[in-house]
Amino acid sequence: MSPFIAEIIGTGILILLGNGVVANVLLNKTKGHNGGWIVITWGWGIGVFAGVFTVSQFSGAHINPAVTLGLAAAGHFQWSMVMPYIAAQILGGAIGSFLVWVSYKDHFAETDNSDAILACHCTAPNIRNYTSNMLTEIVGTFVLVFGVLFIVVPGFITADGQFLETIVINGQEVGLGFGALAALPVALLVLGIGLSLGGPTGYAINPARDLGPRIMHALLPIRAKGSSDWAYSWVPIVGPAIGAFLAAGLYLLLS
């Protein structure tokens, strides 16, 4: 599997399970209706685990442009591969969001709350203050990328598919890459960020998690969907990017 396809699949799995749990909790007449924030944060954590574990051996399972930028800025990923990875992640996010709509189509039709429908696709702040919202996304993404940098090194899979650390199982060389050893720690890290820092903005901490599904929200024929809130859409892109670069900078300073 090519890294490009792997990032599409991995990000698609993340969004399918992540936005899927939001739909299960917020949309009308679902089995999980009103399940609450704990259910949502655990669902996103499992989504990260599943996405990373599935495609780690093929792409390193960034499944997040902020992670890609942070790894490149820290010198652990080739800059020439950054834009292809980000394009794949945004496409994967859109596909995952589309599959959530397919799975919950009848429940979207039964829901009149446009804010709940939007939340099943992308993030929005509970208190709209762009400065505060930006800072929240910067802090959350900083914690994510800073943690990831210490989880994935050594044993990181490079952009050309070469492992920096390998073992041999049954005569076959197996890479110890990003997800092979780190799927669970990264998932728990995202769970912790959601529980502790997710309240103000819904913790995008991932531009592809927000932009791809927001595009699908604008395109899909959902009866009561309302606005796609493009006025806010730059915050979950710029904030995570800044947080990623700050995390990489501190990592390099401490290395």
Structure-model confidence comparison of residues 210 and 185, the more confident one: 210
Query: pLDDT tens-digit profile of 38-94?
Result: 999 999 999 999 999 999 889 989 999 999 999 999 999 999 999 999 999 999 999
What is the predicted pLDDT for the residue at 214? 98
236-241: average pLDDT = 98
CA distance 110 to 197: 31
Burial class (CB in 10 A: 0-12, 13-18, 19+), 77: buried
Domain chopping of the chain, boundaries:
3-254
- Element spanning 167, H or E: strand 166-169
Q: pLDDT averaged over the chain?
A: 91
Q: What pLDDT, on the 0 to 100 scale, is given for residue 231?
A: 98
pLDDT at residue 181 is higher than 80: no
pLDDT at 57: 85
Tens of pLDDT, residues 102-121: 999 999 999 999 999 999 99
pLDDT above 90 for 159: no
Predicted pLDDT at 90 = 98
Residue 171 or 255, more confident: 255
The closest of 208, 172, 194, 189 to 247, measured between CA atoms, is 189
CA distance 26 to 224: 14
pLDDT classification of 192: cutoffs 50, 70, 90: very high
Contact between residue 216 and residue 117 where contact means Cβ atoms under 8 Å apart: no
What's residue 255's pLDDT? Answer: 82
- CATH code linked to domain 3-254: 1.20.1080.10
Give per-residue pLDDT as tens, 132-151: 999 999 999 999 999 999 88
Q: How many other CB atoms are found less than 10 A from the CB of residue 161?
A: 15
Higher pLDDT, 208 or 170: 208
